[in-house]
Structure formats: C-alpha cells, structure tokens
Amino acid sequence: MSEKIAVYYKAMGLPRLIITLFFLFLVCVSVILGIPFGGLMTDVVVRLGMHGILVLAMVPAIISGIGLNFGLPLGILCGLIGAIVSIELDLVGFPAFIAAILVALPLAALIGWCYGWLLNKVKGSEMMVATYAGFSAVFLMSIGWMVLPFKSPEITWPMGPGLRTTISLDGRFRDVLNNWGAFNIGSFRFPTGLILFFLLSCFIMWLVLRSKTGIAMKTVGANPNFAVATGLNVDNYRIMGSVLSTILGAVGIIVYSQSYGFLQLYQAPMFMGFAAVAAVLIGGANIKNAKISHVIIGTFLFQGLLVIALPVANTVMTTGSLAEITRLIVTNGIILYALTQVDGGE
Amino acid sequence: MDRDKIVLEMNNIGKVYYGTRVLKDINLSIKAGEIHAILGENGAGKSTLMNILFGMPVIHSTGGFEGEVLIDGSKVDINSPFKAMKEGIGMVHQEFMLIPGYTITENIKLNREITKPNPISRVLGNKLETLDFVQMDKDAKKAIKSLDIGIDEWTKIAGLPVGYMQFVEIAREIDKENLKILVFDEPTAVLTESEAKNLLQAMKLISDSGIAILFITHRLDEVMEIADNITVLRDGQMVANRKKEETNLVELAQLMVGREIEKVERKVNVDKSSVVMKIKDLKVAMPGEEVKGIDLDIFKGEIIGIGGLAGQGKIGIANGIMGLYPSSGEVVINNDTTLKLNNPKESIAKGLAFVSEDRRGVGLLLDTSIELNIAVTAMQNNDKFLKKYGPFTQLDTTGIRNHALGFKKELDIRCTGVDQITRRLSGGNQQKVCIARALTLEPNILFVSEPTRGIDIGAKKLVLDTLVKLNEELGMTIIMTSSELAELRSVCDRIAIICEGKLEGILKPDDSDADFGLMMAGEYKKLVGEEVSNNE
C-alpha cells in the first residue's frame, strides 16, 4: 500500500501535490464561507477552456528546444489583429470567429518564422530574448493600434484616430464557443463548445507530436548534438516550433476573447505569456519536456486557484482594494513558485 | 646542496576509485637535482599519482590513498594543494593557471605579494599594506632570468605566446623560496618544437640549481634527452624503473605499451581488391582532436582500428566523415561516389553509421525511451517505423516496440523495459542502445568510436563480440577508433596509428609492442627512417 502511494507521489511530484492540496483547501473554505459552489465550478471550467490553448502554445516551443515561450505576446497580437479584422468586415457569430482565426493564422505563421529565426541567433538565452521580443512587440503595436486604418465605429475611439483599449465583442462572437451545446446541472453550466475546442486543439497537437516532424522536433529539443548526428536541420525544426507556438498563441487569444467578451489592446497582452508559462510549469513541464497532460493539469490548477482565491479573499477581506492586492499576490506568488520549480516532476 | 639527499619518497602508493583500482604499489624516490620522468599511456595512472602528491581534493573526497609520502626523509600528510606548496612541491599545469589581464610580475607574485606598511594599514591591519612593486619586479626578473628567457616582467599575460605562458608558470613556481620538487604535467603537449626545446633547457637549468623535477610525459625522445631516471607506469602499476644509461627508446616504447593480448578468433573475410572507402587528405577541425591531412584506404569487410594517444586526432576522423565537425578533403565510397562532406544526412544516406565516443552528449537522447532512441535515426532518414496517411505520418508504435525488443534480446540490453529512458541505464547498456541505433540504419560501413569507454568488463566483451559477429555474418566493414590499444589488437585486421593529426603508420595486430609504442609516440618514422606504406 505504502509502495503504491510512493509511486503515485513520484508520478505526481511535490509541487503538484502542494498546489492540489491548496486548491482543495480553498474549495473547502469557499464552501464554508457560503460562496455559491456551482457558479464557482463553472468559472473554473470556463477558465480552463479559455486559457488552455494559450498554455498549449508552450508545448511546441519547449519540445523544440526554444524553452518556455515568453514571447507569447507576439502570437497574441496576431490573434488580436485577426479579431479586429473580422469586426471590421462586419461579421457576426461563428463566421466572425472563424474569420478571425483564418486572418490570424498566416500572420502568426509569418511572425513565428521571423521570431524563430531571431531565436536561432541567440541560442542559449532564448527565454530572456523572448521576453523582451514580446515586450517590444507589445509597445510597437501600441503605436500600431493608433495608426492602423480601421474604420468601424465599434472599434475606433469616437473622438479621434486609433482603436479603443477594450473592444466589446457583444453581438460579434462573444461566447460562440461557450454557448455551443452548453447545458446546466443545477447552477453549474458546462461550456461544451469551449471545452471541445480546447480538447480538439490538444488532440491535434498530440497527433503532430507523434508524426515524423513532431519526433524530429522533439529530437532537436532533447539533444541538438544528437539531432545533428541524425542528419536533422536543428535550426529549421526550432523555427517550426516557434511557428506552431505563435499560431497557437493567436488562436488562443481569440478563444480567450470570445469567452472574456472583450478584446484588450495596448498593454494588456504584455504579461499574458507569464500566466501561460506558470500554468504549464505547475502542470509538471520543465524547460526541456512538456506533455499535453501537463497543459491540462497545469491550466486547471493555476486558473482554478485564481478563480477560487478571489471570492475567498473578497469575503475574508472586505476592505476596499485589499482583495485585488491579494489576488495579485496569489497570482504572482504562484508564478514565482512555478518558476522555482523549473526542474519539474517526472 | 647535497646531491645524494633524497628529497621525495613515495612508498607503496595505491588508489581505488569507486571500487576500481587505478594505482597499485608505486614506489618512487627522487634525489635533489634529479630529473625523473614518469612515462605511460593515457590512463596509466600518471595523473592520479601526481594528484596524490599534490593533495588534490579529488583524491581526498574519494577516500584518500594507500601508502606514504616522505619529504626530506620525514613522513608528511599532504591533504590539500596548499599543504603541498608549503612542503615545497610546485606544479606546472597542463592548462595554464594564469590571469590574462595581469602582468607577469603580478601573476608570479599572486597571493605572495611583497608589501610595505602605509598609514592606513597601520590603523586597519596589514591587509591594506601597499604592494612593493620594486621588490616584486626584482624577484620576478630574477626568476625569469634563471630560466634564461628574454621577456620583460611588466608584460601582460594576454597576448603572450603559449610557450612563454608556460615559462611564467615555471617562474612562479621557482620564485617560491622553499621549492624542492617541481612537477611538470605533460608540459610540451601544447608547445611548438622550438618552444619545447627551450623548455627542456630551462628544466635542466632548474635541476642544476638543486630542485628535483618530476616530468610526466609520453614523449620518448624528451625523456631520453633530459631524464636521469625513468619510471614506466602501465595500467596503474609500476612496470619498470630504469636509469637513462641503461635503456633505449625501443625498450621504453615496449614497456609503455606491452600487454597480454587476447586475440579474438574470427573468420577473416577481407577483400583486399575492393576499397570501400578511400580517404584522401582529410582534414577535420575538431577542437582538441584535429586531423591534419590523412590518406587511408579501407577494404571491404575488414575491421580496421584507429589508435593513438588522446588529442592526436584519431577521434576526429570518424566525426569528420560523419559531418559533425567542419572537414575538407575527399572521401570516395565504393570507388564511384564522392561523399559530400559536412553533411550528416548525406553520410547516413551513403550507408555510413556512427557510434559516437560521446555517448551521453551525442549518442543518446537521455530522457527518451530506449525504443525511440533505437528507431529515431532510421525513422528520420529512411522513413521507417511510420504509418502514412496521405501527407500525414504517425508513429508505428508496435513496429518500434518489436524492433527494440529484438535488439534487447540480441544485444542483451538490461533494462526494466524498452520504454525505460536511457539516462538510467548503465554505460554498457547505453552503448548497446547506441549500437542498436546504428545497426537499425543497416549500414555498409560502421564507425565505432571508443566502444568500451566507461563500461564494465563483461559488457566490454559483449560489445566487442557483437562487432566481430556483425563483421563475420554481415560482412560489415567496421572502423573502430579506440584509446585502448589492447582492444584494437584483439579484434582488428589492421591498426592505423594517428599521431599529431597525421597517419604515423599502419601495423598488424601481432606486430611488436615496441613498434606500437614508437608509433604512438611519433618516433617510428624517425627511427625506422622510411615512409610506412599505406596499404602494405
């Protein structure tokens, strides 16, 4: 019996154990405090779906040896452009959602290629460079949002040139996935379309990883010297990893936005990469290895913690902005903890 | 100074590393002013012996050593390099331990600076005393002068030729007032011929001043030139102790290499009329193992050994032909196709496979399963182990599993299952995985580098037997590079010895120990006085 526990413990790893226990602790506290359980669980599942693809974007980057993709904002910006173009075209509902993705894809592929090329020039310090590549892109696009020639009154400032900081998706493609086939169990509402889309993305990623190309990417990431001796072009497969990661970032933000209900421009994409990194690390990935299971577990735990911590903090500390501060402490605390666990479990 | 006084005695020195005996019953005694050479192949135990003498932490963190060390007739316990220095032992390292941005004086006097008091130091203690550069320069000048070389003590180390850096190291040691014994660890390995000559002269000067010199090397001519006494080590044992007058080059070569050879019985099916690979003027820029122009014909169905001492370039040949390091020259396969160099994919496509000497660095995906390690190269190059769905592909997991299980049985890979990651396997089993991966490519020519490095005896035999079997049954041509001469002599048809990046000569396994020793030391051509023919 104790041996079995030891095996499970080893498979799970200490970080995941601690976070799972903390998660369960918060769930208990929230129930004791009388916070509506069904609504809370709905939030947990919705956030799993809306953040999942952004976290999935880490997988191709990690396995192809670029490491954690702190440059995720690059992909996010491509996705935002796609979404804005779809509104500009005055599309509504699923067509709007699909058009956003179709516009974002080639853009993300192109940006991902350039980004991969850049990362090949800075082997060994990819993560640092990626972080700043992401930051720079966010600031560059802050100018871009001001000067791009979009006309639709829904997305531009009423009083002058440029796009709004937040653009509502009401009446466009808000909740198209969340509401597709959704059903209620008591006060718990299951966002069928969202979760299916997330799982489908995971499944496609899983298939890619099992293809000849996927194995080559894994080989390049696991041991570049070995890959060279096997006749693989290391740089090409790293670029492929960054293209895939950027594309997933673009699709991820569109899925995120349709659930969130708004497009957030300007500085908003800046730190979205960090949350995705933290989630995949908490899930058990490390700089060299990431699996789909790490993505699902990590997103669930990380977002679940945030969702539950906030109302709990609100109830415990009612004074003004203290809850918001607590939320920030918890978020960044988890990120910090995840980063110290970079070695990951096995 | 009394020339008959014994300054250093080492009695019955032995050392065991993790259950492996590396030194046994070594006895040395060195008189003042004597130059004592310690001669041996790589791995003979020379460095371990010096580490013991110098009190290196690597010795004491692995359980210390056996025997005793006497300096000036009294037993000393040297447990740290600092203690060794205090006892008057100095060492000139193979890699220079100098600070490039400092002048020669500063390097020589580092941590032994001469200081004079100033007002601040009188208040705050002697750590803050002023450096007395005049006195320090004087000392440095004296040390440099005693070596009879013309460099200025105020020159910065950065930019000095390698040969001079060596002299600065020596000057630093002889500047120490109590120096009794100076150890030179392969000092001429990095020097040009003329620099080496200067160095040997300087060593004579030092010994004339009464300092005993321990000279570790594998260069026979240098030993014969300056040593008074010679100790030969082989496999951690002292095989001989000779006075210079009583011995000669050939005997020393024989002593250094000589070893019981167990010849593996095998069917020889070499077809001398058909050359499977013709190497012309191959140059490979592999750091530390540079190949500087080699011509070699490899016959169909033979096992050819490539031997030589470490750093001479034998490792570079296979790495160059497989495209892992920049190379130039011409490699013709089967007399008709010229191999495009610097392109690993091309080398694999031409039927070559490589088992790397760097097993963990190049040979394996350490965190990947055994089965995928075996399959991956063939998958990427020959589209094996894949199921095709139009333009899409998926792994053929059953195919990979069955293939790996086959090799597990055939090569006796000991593992908990073929899905185990290779990091946790023992060295021998890792090597078997590497060989299995190379064989999965079904190569015509197999390069195997250091196949038995770091693996236990049982696995060694199995690996060698496997190579022989492949050669016998499939007629595979095998090019085996190894630092272990005995191993090459036990399985190879011919052995090419590489020295200083060039082919020194080709020997038959049953040629004399002396010939092997001379070739490895690069003395053969000089001594025999004739070019050794390539395809004898």
Residue A96 CA to residue B468 CA, distance in Å, equals 67
**Domain regions of chain A by residue span:** 54-294
Report the run of H or E that residue A327 belongs to, with start and end. helix A322-340
Question: Is residue B372 in some structural domain?
Answer: yes
Domain shared by B132 and B226, yes or no: yes
CB B439 within 8 A of CB B471: no
Residue A327 CA to residue A332 CA, distance in Å, equals 9
At residue B531, the pLDDT reads 47
Cα dist from A291 to A4, A160, A297, B41, whole Å: 23, 47, 10, 48
Structure tokens at B194: 């003329």
At residue B137, the pLDDT reads 87
> Chain A within 8 Å of B193 (Cβ-Cβ)?
no
Contacts B377 to A, Cβ<8 Å: 230-231
Interface size between A and B, measured as CB pairs under 8 A = 71
Question: Is residue B254 in some structural domain?
Answer: no
Single residue among B398, B420, B442 that ends a domain in this structure: B442
Provide the 3-class DSSP secondary structure of residue B208: helix
> Chain B within 8 Å of A219 (Cβ-Cβ)?
yes
β-pairing, B35-39 vs B212-217, is parallel
> Chain B within 8 Å of A211 (Cβ-Cβ)?
yes
Question: Is residue B454 in some structural domain?
Answer: no
Among A223, A228, A234, A346, the strongest candidate for a mutation testing the B interface, having the largest count of B CBs within 10 A, is A223
The candidate with the shortest Cα–Cα distance to B313, out of B441, B503, B118, B442, is: B503
**b/e string for B235-254 if b means 16 or more Cβ within 10 A?**
bbbbbbebebeebebbbbbb
A221 to chain B: nearest residue by CA? B365
> Chain B within 8 Å of A65 (Cβ-Cβ)?
no
User: DSSP class of residue B287?
Assistant: T
Distance from B419 to chain A by nearest Cα, in Å? 14
What burial class does residue B388 get, using C-beta atoms within 10 Å of its C-beta: 0-12 exposed, 13-18 middle, 19+ buried?
Answer: exposed
Contacts B345 to A, Cβ<8 Å: 231-232
Contacts A231 to B, Cβ<8 Å: 344-349, 377, 380-381
Read off the pLDDT of residues A172-202 as tens digits, 9 standing for 90 and up.
888 888 888 888 888 888 899 999 999 999 9
Question: Is residue B447 in some structural domain?
Answer: no
Interchain CB distance below 8 Å, A232 and B380: yes
> Chain A within 8 Å of B376 (Cβ-Cβ)?
yes
Residue B178 sits in a domain of what CATH number? 3.40.50.300
DSSP string, B407-457: HHHHHT---S-TTSBGGGS-HHHHHHHHHHHHHHT--SEEEEESTTTT--H
Single residue among B398, B425, B442 that ends a domain in this structure: B442
Facing A207 at nearest CB: one of B361, B364, B394: B394
Question: Is residue B173 in some structural domain?
Answer: yes
Question: Is residue B207 in some structural domain?
Answer: yes
Residues 254-313, chain A: which have Cβ within 8 Å of B? 288-289
A223 to chain B: nearest residue by CA? B365
CB B291 within 8 A of CB B317: yes
Residue A221 CA to residue A320 CA, distance in Å, equals 48
> Chain A within 8 Å of B386 (Cβ-Cβ)?
yes
Contacts B344 to A, Cβ<8 Å: 228-231
Taking chain B (536 residues) in runs of 10, the rounded mean pLDDT of each run is: 77 81 86 88 79 85 85 86 86 78 86 83 82 86 80 81 80 84 81 78 86 84 86 85 84 75 69 86 88 90 88 88 91 87 89 88 89 91 86 88 90 85 83 91 90 75 86 89 86 89 88 85 71 44
Domain shared by B127 and B209, yes or no: yes
Interchain CB distance below 8 Å, B367 and A289: yes
Question: Is residue B21 in some structural domain?
Answer: yes
At residue B533, the pLDDT reads 44
At residue A346, the pLDDT reads 37
Single residue among B188, B217, B247 that ends a domain in this structure: B247
Interchain CB distance below 8 Å, A231 and B356: no
> Chain B within 8 Å of A228 (Cβ-Cβ)?
yes
Taking chain A (346 residues) in runs of 10, the rounded mean pLDDT of each run is: 73 77 87 85 90 93 89 92 90 89 94 93 85 91 88 82 86 84 84 92 92 92 90 92 94 92 87 86 83 90 85 76 74 76 49
> Chain B within 8 Å of A10 (Cβ-Cβ)?
no
Distance from A197 to chain B by nearest Cα, in Å? 21
Residue A19 CA to residue A341 CA, distance in Å, equals 12
Provide the 3-class DSSP secondary structure of residue B231: strand
Residue A202 CA to residue B216 CA, distance in Å, equals 61
Interchain CB distance below 8 Å, A229 and B362: yes
Domain shared by B221 and B274, yes or no: no
Q: Which residue has the tokens 């032995």?
A: B14
The candidate with the shortest Cα–Cα distance to B271, out of B6, B43, B493, B20, is: B493
Among A211, A212, A228, A235, the strongest candidate for a mutation testing the B interface, having the largest count of B CBs within 10 A, is A212
> Chain B within 8 Å of A223 (Cβ-Cβ)?
yes
At residue A220, the pLDDT reads 92
Provide the 3-class DSSP secondary structure of residue B523: coil
B354 to chain A: nearest residue by CA? A229
Contacts B393 to A, Cβ<8 Å: 211-213
Interchain CB distance below 8 Å, A289 and B345: no
Interchain CB distance below 8 Å, B372 and A215: yes
Interchain CB distance below 8 Å, B364 and A225: no
Residue A266 CA to residue B403 CA, distance in Å, equals 54
Cα maximum dimension of chain A = 70
Q: Which residue has the tokens 């191709």?
A: A60
A232 to chain B: nearest residue by CA? B345
SS (H, E, C) A33-99: CCCCHHHHHHHHHHHHHHHHHHHHCHHHHHHCCCCCCCCHHHHHHHHHHHHHHHHHCCCCCHHHHHH
Residue B497 CA to residue B517 CA, distance in Å, equals 10
Q: Has this prediction a pTM greater than 0.90?
A: no
Question: Is residue B379 in some structural domain?
Answer: yes
Starting at the edge strand found earlier in the chain, the sheet holding B337-338 runs B291-300, B271-284, B327-333, B337-338
Domain shared by B154 and B29, yes or no: yes
Q: Specify the length of chain A in residues.
A: 346
Cα dist from B372 to A218, B160, B397, B414, B426, whole Å: 11, 50, 9, 16, 18
Provide the 3-class DSSP secondary structure of residue B71: strand
The candidate with the shortest Cα–Cα distance to A277, out of A239, A320, A334, is: A334
> Chain A within 8 Å of B361 (Cβ-Cβ)?
yes
Facing A230 at nearest CB: one of B361, B366, B376: B376
Number of domains in chain B: 3
Distance from B315 to chain A by nearest Cα, in Å? 15
B279 is in which domain, residue-wise?
264-351+476-536
Read off the pLDDT of residues A280-328 as tens digits, 9 standing for 90 and up.
888 888 878 888 998 999 899 888 888 888 788 777 777 767 767 777 7
β-pairing, B181-185 vs B89-92, is parallel
